[in-house]
Amino acid sequence: MTTAQERWASFNLAIALFAIDPAPLGGIWLRARVGPVRDRIIQALNIALDTDFFPRLHPNISDEALFGGLDLSATLATGHPIQTEGLLSKGGTVILTMAERAKSALLARLAGALDAETGLSIIALDEAAEEGEGLGHSLSDRLGLHLQLDAIPQSAAQEMEFDSTALAEARARLTHVRHAPEDYRDLCLVAKALGVTSLRAVQHALRLARHSAALMGSDQVEQADLQLAVELALVPRATQIPETAPPEQARPPQPQETEAQENPSDPEDPQTEGEDLPPFEALIEAAKAMLPPDLLARLAAQRAARQSKGSSGTGNRKKGNHRGRPVASRSGELGGGARIDLIATLRSAAPWQGLRAQTTAPKPRGMHIRKVDIRVKQFEQSSDRVIIFVVDASGSSAMSRMAEAKGAIELMLGEAYARRDHVALVAFRGAGADILLNPTRSLVQTKRRLQDLPGGGGTPLAAGLKSALDLAVLTSGKGMTPSLAVLTDGRANVSLDGSANRAQAGEDAQNMAKALRGRGVPAIVIDTGQRPTRGLDDLAKVMGAAYVPLPRADAKSLNAAVEAALPSA
Amino acid sequence: MSHAFPFSAIVGQDAMKQAMLLTAIDAGIGGVLVFGDRGTGKSTAVRGLVALLPPITAIKGCPVNSAAEADIPDWANVADRNVVEKPTPVVDLPLGATEDRVVGALDIEKALAKGEKAFEAGLLARANRGYLYIDEVNLLEDHLVDLLLDVAQSGENLVEREGLSIRHPARFVLVGSGNPEEGELRPQLLDRFGLSVEVKSPKDIDTRIEVIKRRDAFDQDRAKFVKSWAKSDEAIRKSIIAARKRLSKIRTNDAILKDCAALCLELGSDGLRGELTLLRAARAQAAFEGASEITRAHLRAVAPMALSHRLRRDPLDEAGSTTRVMRTVEAVLP
């Protein structure tokens, strides 16, 4: 790990490299909270790229603002089509603010715009507070520079300096920069050692190295350039700490190049200052020194956060099975995907026709529609939540537990109309599990179904979880958001195939828990035992679920625990 | 974009390339789904394929790329009725596209400025006789998915809204790509894709190096790089054209039909779409290889991509469905 000053200096260099030619690098993923340090970076970018400001995109930007479209009010006023220009169609560098909130639809569009290679580059300002939040992969993978500004104190953030003549010279030199054919292999090996699977990262590293050589005033990519490229493009994406001895020792002879341009005249020995290591090992060593010491812990936290949320950090996607329920239209701007309500628009324009016909100078044919007349359709959309109760109906305390679960379900359904919750109930006992209540919002049906519930027998936890998983998959296919509440006090003692084999049962339950986690179903495990049950908290961990010991669960406290632990719709 | 990365220059990813070529030979196979890691050349392959496909002949001004004047829909106001060669249309369906943009809608500009009721064709019209490419198909909004299912099945787009009643042909090859980590695809849509392939980042260091090397050469001098691969692209184009001609003459004997049925039965795929696609894909494969009849080798070559997405999923099966298909193929077709 290096000091803050050193990191700041390397950021300065990174921005200089970016400024030489932004488009091939895709852009910058700037992870930082709002503050003077981030402002400094933006200011530096402005200086380096010699602009006054960057066009800003926000996460809810409309397609028309992005790509341009028909300017309806101007079109109506003039009588012939007038197009507006979109922010992306101009190319250049743009800023995406609050990038952590950008939805995958926007990210896909930005990624597509980058892929079209129109000279666009994007600076994504990511203010994610927690691991697992943050810019989605589809865009971050396409941004060459990943800068993490946290832990840089304001005192270290000096004003950045750029030599504009050097940048201009570097720009002119860039097309002449060549690199040794071995560099492909070296960068690929370093990427592999760091666990970077994306090939785009290697491409970005190669381009950065070329930019670096150009900035140094050299036509040949040197070891130092590669090292810088690794530090800027590969190290921030590392997912593992490289082993000390890289798997491949000797470099096999390079196959003959077909492209003449890739055959530079006898490259100088890239090793400098008597380093004994072959270049890529030296690169890996250098990369290792740059890795943050808490890398592994952070990666684990990221994975956990991602898995428990089951999304790429862009928030819960609402599928909205009630999408498109039209409500009354109202006056508004066209754009942002708004749909015009033609009839209402004409109706609102109708009373004015006489007046407008008199005041409009060249008499147009047809109706006079002004901007104020335009009515757009409104749609109501929301995503329904399903809470699947998985209740242990085995053993002695089965009756009371079932009764409380029933109570909690009824309480939830009581508020269902306000909150759009659906509830389902899976009970497991004896040799298997039954879905006692399919997802429903009907209180009446629930009461009738749950009147008398059988209890007793073994604990086929795995079977219960499996039924719940099936149900969760089914409901999410219907556009609902499933969550699980597991109520039990015992350890699994009946395996999936129905046999009373404690070891197998435990393993099956673990496997099902893993499958649930893989599906990204949020869950809570409520331990209703008198004392915390051994192993149940571990199972909750595997499931990515909250573990709540609740020895004397009554319907109210159960309801409160579930409400607190599961994400709201 | 002036130059697409040449299809033949894509390193590895043979299954993906094969699947795309098969749909180019027989559009009736019904589309390709490419699921896999980021940065594995999914969209590059689609663009490359399109650059390589032989052009279609169509009426110049026709919004649905009609081949003959008689096919022009009556709502279309076509000024230029000359028959010209057009490149095979490829239409991107962006995420979050509005329904209006996809199916077409009342031309508001004309309606308001001139008071005419005219239809503005949508993306589905433009994709007729070509490709509809959906990146991140698994993130597509549900109502659009329903719409696409309907059109893909009927080959016709029907618009009934705002006082319009319009229909036009919409036959296209659906190409979807996505990353399964970000969301699953609904089984109904999954089944509608004829072929599906999984792509992975190459693990082998030499392959990775080759990818970077070619991409870098492409970036350095596009025209030159495209030119240096033009011959191999041309060879593929010729074999596609030859295979299309041969397609109808390929013989299918009853033993192969029996094999198809046995395979699908053993795998327990839903419905008969599995058999039909398997047969069509095998026929296209045979045509591509220049064979005169379908053999078991052709079935084996296409079975994983034609069937792997039609199996019932088992949450505890770690191996993945492609492996299951391969195992079954080995058992059923010795």
Cβ within 8 Å, pair B208-A188? yes
> In angstroms, how far is the first alpha carbon of chain B from the final one?
48
CA A557 – CA A563 distance, rounded (Å)? 10
Confidence of residue A258 (pLDDT cuts 50, 70, 90): very low
Residue, of B175 and A561, whose pLDDT is higher: B175
The pLDDT tens digits of the residues spanning A185-237 come to 888 888 888 888 888 888 899 999 999 999 888 888 888 888 888 888 888 88
Structural domain spans, chain B: 7-199, 250-332
Domains in chain A, please, with CATH?
1-160 (3.40.50.300), 163-241+277-307 (1.10.8.80), 330-358+365-380 (no CATH), 385-565 (3.40.50.410)
The residue count for chain A: 569
A-chain residues within 8 Å CB-CB of B179? 137-138
Neighbour-count burial of A478, counting CB atoms closer than 10 A to its CB (0-12 exposed, 13-18 middle, 19+ buried): middle
B273 a catalytic residue: yes
B235 pLDDT tier (thresholds 50, 70, 90): very high
- Residue A53, pLDDT > 80, answer yes
Quick check: A422 pLDDT over 60? yes
Q: How far is B254 from chain A (nearest CA, A)?
A: 39
- The mean of the pLDDT values for chain B is 82
Mind listing the pLDDT tens digit for each residue in B127-182? 888 888 888 787 777 677 778 878 887 888 888 766 678 888 888 888 888 877 66
What confidence tens digit (pLDDT) does each residue in A302-331 have?
A: 555 544 443 333 333 343 333 445 556 667
> Taking CB atoms and an 8 Å cutoff, what residues of chain A touch B115?
365-367
Q: Which among A441, A497, A432 is positioned nearest to A468, based on CA atoms?
A: A432
Tell me how close the Cα of B58 comes to any Cα of chain A, in angstroms: 27
Q: Do A75 and B113 touch (CB under 8 A)?
A: yes
Kindly tell me if the per-residue pLDDT of B245 is higher than 60: yes
Instruction: Give which of B137, B172, B166, B141 is closest to B154, Cα–Cα.
Output: B172
Among A84, A178, A182, A199, the strongest candidate for a mutation testing the B interface, having the largest count of B CBs within 10 A, is A199
Determine the pLDDT at residue B108. Answer: 65
Residue with tokens 């496909």: B53
pLDDT of residue A302: 56
Q: Would the CB atoms of B94 and A108 count as touching at under 8 Å?
A: yes
ipTM above 0.90, yes or no: no
Integer Cα distance of B109 and B116 in angstroms? 9
Of A108, A511, A515, the CB nearest to B95: A108
Mean pLDDT of B260-271: 83
Nearest-Cα residue of chain B relative to residue A507: B316
How does the average pLDDT of chain A come out, rounded? 75
Q: What is the pLDDT of residues B36-89, one digit of tens each?
A: 776 777 878 888 888 888 888 888 878 888 887 777 887 777 777 788 888 888
Phi and psi based region of residue B65 (left: phi greater than 0; alpha: psi -120 to 50; beta: remaining):
left
Q: Which of B1, B212, B221 is nearest residue A202 as measured by Cβ atoms?
A: B212
- Residue B276 makes CB contacts below 8 A (sequence gap 6+) with none
pLDDT of residue A259 exceeding 50? no
Q: Does B286 score more than 90 pLDDT?
A: yes
Q: Which of B141, B209, B214, B229 to mutate to test the interface with A (most CBs of A within 10 A)?
A: B209
Chain A residues touching B208 at Cβ < 8 A: 188, 191-192, 199, 202
- Residue A111: closest C-alpha in chain B: B135
Contact call for residues A158 and A251 (beta carbons, < 8 A): no
Q: Which is the catalytic residue, given B101, B214, B237, B273?
A: B273
- All residues of chain A having their beta carbon less than 8 Å from the beta carbon of residue B1 are 116-117
Instruction: Give the type of residue at A515.
Output: A
Q: Which residues of B touch A366 (CB under 8 A)?
A: 113-115
- Residue A255's pLDDT is 41
Answer with the residue of higher pLDDT: B185 or A270: B185
Global pTM value: 0.67
Which residues have a Cβ under 8 Å from the Cβ of A526 and sit 6 or more positions away? A485, A486, A487, A488, A548, A549, A550, A553, A558, A561, A562
Query: Which strands sit side by side in the sheet containing A546-549, from one edge to the other?
Result: A432-440, A421-429, A385-392, A481-488, A523-527, A546-549
Q: What is the dihedral sign for C-alpha A75, A80, A81, A84?
A: negative
Residue with the larger pLDDT of the pair A154 and A268: A154
How crowded is residue B262: how many other Cβ atoms within 10 Å of its Cβ? 15
Quickly name the fold that domain B250-332 has.
Helicase, Ruva Protein; domain 3 (1.10.8)
Chain A residues whose beta carbon lies within 8 Å of the beta carbon of residue B204: none
What is the predicted pLDDT for the residue at A39?
87
Put simply, the answer to whether A81 touches B109 (Cβ < 8 Å) is yes
The answer to whether the CB atoms of B39 and A199 lie below 8 A apart is yes
Euclidean distance between CA atoms A553 and A45, whole angstroms:
58
Torsion of CA A268, A273, A279, A282, to 10 degrees: -160
Query: Which DSSP string corresponds to A456-504?
Result: -S---HHHHHHHHHHHHHHHHHTT-EEEEEEEESS---S-TTS---HHH
Q: What residues of B are in contact with residue A258 (Cβ under 8 Å)?
A: 228
Measuring CA to CA, which residue among A524, A511, A517 is closest to residue A503? A511
Considering only CA atoms, which of A137, A258, A240, A252 is closest in space to residue A190? A240
In Å, how far is B304's CA from the nearest CA of chain A? 24
| Residue B264 or residue A498, greater confidence | B264
pLDDT in tens, B87-107: 888 888 877 677 777 888 777
Of the listed ranges A203-207, A544-548, B87-91, B301-305, the least confidently predicted one is A544-548
Q: Are B310 and B194 in contact (CB under 8 A)?
A: no
pLDDT given at position B35: 84
User: Given phi > 0 = left and psi -120 to 50 = alpha, else beta, which region is B320?
Assistant: left
Pick the CATH number of B7-199 from 3.40.720.10, 1.10.10.1100, 3.40.50.300, 3.40.50.720: 3.40.50.300
DSSP A220: B
pLDDT in the model for residue B51: 84
Nearest to A515 among B213, B217, B315 (CB): B315
Distance between CA atoms of A31 and A147, rounded to whole angstroms?
A: 6
Structure tokens at A444: 């009446």
CA distance A283 to A233: 13
Chain A nearest C-alpha distance from B47 (Å): 11
Q: Which 3 state secondary structure label does DSSP give A28?
A: strand
Measured between CA atoms, how close is B209 to chain A, in angstroms?
Answer: 6
Helix segments in A386-460, DSSP class H? 398-414, 416-419, 443-449
Percent of chain A clearing pLDDT 90 (strictly above): 3
How many angstroms from the chain centroid is the CA of residue A96?
15
CB contact (8 A) between residue B39 and residue A187: no
pLDDT digits (tens, 9 = 90+) for A484-530: 888 887 777 888 877 878 888 888 888 888 888 888 888 888 887 77
Estimate to the nearest angstrom the gap between the alpha carbon of A300 and the chain centroid: 16
pLDDT number for residue B284? 94
**Are A76 and B113 a contacting pair at CB < 8 A?**
yes
Q: Which residue has the higher pLDDT, A128 or A388?
A: A388
- Picking from A111, A117, A323, the nearest residue to B143 by CB comes out as A323
Residue B25 parent element (H or E): helix B14-25
B-interface mutation test, from A64, A207, A342, A383, most B Cβ less than 10 A away? A342
CB contact under 8 A, B142 and A323: yes
